[in-house]
Amino acid sequence: MGFNELPYGPSPAVGEALHNAAGRVQSYGSPHCDGLRDAIGASNGIDPEHVICGNGSEELLDVIARVFARPGDEILITEYGYIQFALTANRVGADLVKAPEQDFTTDVDALLSAVTARTRVLFLANPNNPTGTLVDTRELARLADALPPQVLLVLDLAYGEFATPEYCAGVHALVQGRENVVVTRTFSKAYGLAGARVGWCHGPDWMIPLLYAARGMGTVNALAQAAAIAALGDMATVQTRVSEIKAERARMSATMQALGCSVLPSHTNFLLLSPPDQNPDTTEAIVEHVFDTAGIIVNRTREAGLEHFLRVSVSLPAHNDLFLGALEAFLAGASPGTATATGS
Ligand SMILES: Cc1ncc(COP(=O)(O)O)c(C=O)c1O
């Protein structure tokens, strides 16, 4: 429960598509992911010509940074922004600038104050990982309108499906009529295809050829394309699974809070929580305890300011119960031989 994956295996439709694609594996897949882009366009109400797919959205974040930022440029993110943004900035040799957040949530005014003449890219995940929080589309529109034209606003919607369809549509609408806004999406989370590595980017017309020029030719393999198309063709399964995860998210959060933990409001398939004493040593001990007693791996957030938190992915009810049981036992000091909630 440490990587924000979906706990379900491939749906029958995805399994069948993978099986069929395997029988044609001697052939290359479509380098421009034509069928997949058509399916994405139809499913999201956007022009497939404004879409480029990648080997996970991670590849596209990297491509964007390589196209738009050079050593000496600045890449702007929020205080607790997705760690990959910092790694991407590092890879291109750009200077990383972090704008403070408010209540572990993006602060648009702080971002605007942090923009300089050297800012080239602003990476912003909504909902964000690891906080799980989001800002509404009105605030995002205010940000997009106030940014100077040389700053590319990258809106990472990796967890958008766990917010609402309206939120996703509202974020995509920000690309229309603007030249400096792109949205990235992934099949790794709500679609349950993390291992297939498929992501996509929705951007303005002029930008797509530049992104293709920086992306490898066949980075989205034929099996991955087939799986993603099949997943889009079975939205009922995606929606059912997302609903189950959201219901479990609410149940887990309520239980954790009843145990005295602080839990950030999550719009994702994970929860960020801290123990009642907010002590990083206690957090560390909980992480060890859930592994030792329940075999569960969670993510120990180590970013500055988040040291007392841990991040746990919402899984199947039985797995969630195992986690909650281990957490409760730890907080009750009920497990002999493990550290107690004082974390000393
Ligand atoms: C906010 C965010 N963006 C992007 C990604 C990358 O996803 P992928 O490369 O699997 O599409 C992740 C993965 O955890 C994420 O949390």
| Domain identity same for 227 and 250 | no
pLDDT digits (tens, 9 = 90+) for 195-212: 999 999 999 999 999 999
What is the model's pLDDT at position 340? 43
Please give the distance, rounded to the nearest whole angstrom, from the Cα atom of residue 65 to the centre of ligand 1. 15
> For residue 41, with 0-12 CB atoms within 10 Å meaning exposed, 13-18 middle and 19 or more buried, which class applies?
middle
- The amino acid at residue 243 is S
Which residues fall within 8 angstroms of residue 225, CB to CB, at 6 or more apart?
A: 21, 29, 30, 33, 35, 36, 53, 198
Q: Is the pLDDT reported for residue 344 higher than 60?
A: no
Last residue of a domain, one of 233, 264, 292: 233
331 CA to middle of ligand 1, Å?
Answer: 32
Question: If you average pLDDT over residues 285-305, what whole number do you get?
Answer: 95
Task: Provide mean pLDDT across the span 123-139.
Answer: 98
Whether residues 133 and 178 fall in one domain: yes
CATH number at residue 309: 3.90.1150.10
Atom 16, ligand 1: residue with shortest CA distance: 129
CATH number of the domain enclosing 91 = 3.40.640.10
Centroid of ligand 1 to alpha carbon of 85 (angstroms): 10
Q: DSSP state, 102? A: B
Share of the chain above pLDDT 90, in %: 95
Residue 335 has pLDDT above 50, yes or no: no
Asked if residue 314 and residue 200 are part of one domain, the reply reads no
Ligand 1: centre distance to CA 1 (Å)? 15
Binding-site residues, ligand 1, Cβ < 6 A: 4, 56-58, 82, 84, 125, 129, 156, 158, 186, 188, 194, 199
Same domain, 166 and 26: yes
Question: Which of ligand 1's atoms lies nearest the C-alpha of 156?
Answer: 3
Residue 239 pLDDT more than 70? Answer: yes
- Calpha distance 46→195 (Å, rounded): 26
Structural domain boundaries, residue 318: 236-331
| Same domain (yes/no): 266, 141 | no
| pLDDT range class, residue 302, cuts 50, 70, 90 | confident
**pLDDT, tens digit, for every residue of 150-189?**
999 999 999 999 999 999 999 999 999 999 999 999 999 9
Establish if 221 belongs to a structural domain: yes
**Nearest Cα to 54, choosing from 224, 205, 189?**
224
Q: Give the residue from 188, 217, 233 where a domain finishes.
A: 233
**Is pLDDT of 227 > 60?**
yes
Q: What is the pLDDT of residue 338?
A: 44
Residue 101 pLDDT exceeds 70: yes
Q: Which atom of ligand 1 is nearest to the CA of 58?
A: 9
Are the CB atoms for 310 and 251 separated by under 8 Å? no
The 10s digit of each residue's pLDDT in 63-97 is: 999 999 999 999 999 999 999 999 999 999 999 99
Among candidate residues 56, 141, 132, 57, the one with its CA nearest the CA of residue 101? 132
**Mean pLDDT along residues 247-272:** 98
Q: Please report the pLDDT score of residue 272 as a whole number.
A: 98
Residues 182, 318 share a domain: no
Q: Is residue 137 part of a domain?
A: yes
pTM of the model: 0.95
pLDDT above 70 covers a percentage of the chain that reads 97
* Cα 147 to averaged position of ligand 1 atoms, centre (Å): 24
**Interval 216-227 mean pLDDT:** 96
